[in-house]
Chains A and B, each alone.
Chain A
């Protein structure tokens, strides 16, 4: 290890969540909201779609969120955000920021068309997807964010080869939005920087936060951060951002580990993997990383790696 990893240096003090949240112990989705709100500040309205967070917030007549929050139907975060934006703008409240918030199911699957439209129309909102790699609120069914090799409650096929996790940031970058980025709950300084940077941009911003779910992944509740960091090191979830769909910047590149080592930390959620399957997953991860490297090198130029800092 060359350098100790970074931890946040300037996390705003103000809390926008009340204790008593209805999240499982060690919930990384709760932590993600906590930090995104810290970065966004009080002048924010949340469009929240169905998912774990619909529960975490607390049942009527309670709430754990201190900024205005609108619960909405499944997959509607992006559409609601568009509606909020329009209503605020027409009332002259363009100072208020809109934060769309959805899980992987709501983003990768049921909310995909709405998300794509909001991005294509470059609505001035920030969309954050917290990704626990399955429909965790309903008990862990397969989504298109599920990693190959992972067993969900609805996994029926033993076939793994050729089934991939949808690359949502590439899809969003292809809309040529100002800012599309990955982030990890294990690297909160990086998340903090990205959200604060996204805030400063007009137009559609998308951040995909990897939030391992201790409950759903059958891990002890204190494991979320460690696993998230290993996912970054295994390059399952590399940390990068894309400006205007063009400039790729790798934000952190900690010492790599093989996928095998990452998988060993979470055996309980995995299918029995053959050597061939493991090799295929590793090869796929390597290829993706190479592509990312090439893109980031091509894009190195003005506004490159320093742009988020």
Chain B
């Protein structure tokens, strides 16, 4: 194992190399481009034995990967924002086709107005495509999530989206453990799908399906996604035993006694963590709930983490216009019907379009939370006031 200082894009590329991906297809889009560039270098240098398809659009990237996966290859790609959106129909296809594709999405706000900075509006729009959604806090986590992603995907036969934040992860360097590939091989066996396209055993895949048959196909996806919770947990556990990094589906940090639990995802969890540490040192009973898996949603873990909290504040780096932050909605619906259903769940919108979420931002959130604000509408943080 080697510890190397690298940015999130490089870490993701290492994740793919260590997973011995066989086919990758790529199309440039910032801030993801570094991943596929790095991967191209790994392939060119012979470090990775894989085919690199330079596509002419993200739509074609996913189409190529779907086909390559159907033909029995382990496949990988990365994208962002508009590129992810262009893939949209094929994201449904990949999941419906039950293909264990792993893709990194480097979160970037959706235009217009034209932008290339971070928020989760790109990935949130793909929430219901049937992929597993993993949100990474640091660069190491991105590398690890890719390897774990294949481990999980190839058991439940569903694709995995690994998210990391544009700029905050993609262009920020951190020390990252790059494991020995033999160790990864022990963790992640070669891909051997139950069905693949092979003239020796001809199969026709995905013919038109009528109303009398379709629901059961969807139900099987549902079943696989439900099962994915346990598989992901197990995969994370085994990963921790071998490589020393464990994440869980969620991470509850100081929640046991917390009066206020801050809920977040992605790189801003690092900021929350710092503020929570600082506040707890001052004796404030503030906890942190990091949501790592948006799909499958870790309902039980969320309920458990906030069991003792008086108040829950969800910080969303996204907004579903007309409703609010999506993590806020998810947490609220997870608590509804549980014993903690009457706890106030506050929704904060912060950091859209790459605006920094600083410790000061978090301070403001805590302050507002304590002021008994309205619970039914999202609270926009650090928004310029009207004149």
Contact = CB atoms under 8 A, between A and B. Distances in A.
Contacts of B50: 90
B23 interface: yes
Interface string A74-108: 01101111111011111101001000000000000
B87 to A, nearest CB: 10
Contacts of B231: none
A113 interface: yes
B72 A91 contact: yes
A63 B67 contact: no
Interface in A45-74: 45, 47, 54-55, 57-63, 65-73
Interface stretch (A114-122, A140-148, A218-226, A227-235): A114-122
Q: Which of B56, B207, B208 has the most CB of A within 10 A?
A: B207
Contacts of B55: 79, 82, 114, 117
B49 A80 contact: no
Contact of B68 (A75, A83, A117): A83
B303 to A, nearest CB: 38
Q: Give the size range of B's interface with the partner.
A: 35 or more
A76 B63 contact: yes
Contacts of A57: 204, 207
A83 B64 contact: yes
Nearest to B202: A68
B4 interface: no
A42 interface: yes
A71 B66 contact: no
Given A68-B203, A73-B89, A116-B56, A80 B64 contact: yes
B199 A113 contact: no
Nearest to B204: A63
A253 interface: no
Interface in B158-210: 197-199, 202-210
Nearest to B90: A73
Interface string B65-90: 11111111101000000000000011
A160 to B, nearest CB: 33
A80 B205 contact: no
A87 B67 contact: yes
A81 B68 CA distance: 9
10 contacts: A44-B199, A59-B210, A68-B202, A72-B67, A78-B60, A80-B66, A83-B64, A90-B50, A114-B55, A114-B60
- Which 3 A-B pairs rank lowest in CB-CB distance, beginning with the nearest? A83-B67, A83-B64, A63-B204
Interface of A: 42-45, 47, 54-55, 57-63, 65-73, 75-76, 78-84, 86-91, 93, 96, 113-114, 116-117, 121
Interface of B: 22-23, 25, 49-51, 53-57, 59-61, 63-73, 75, 89-90, 93, 197-199, 202-210, 213
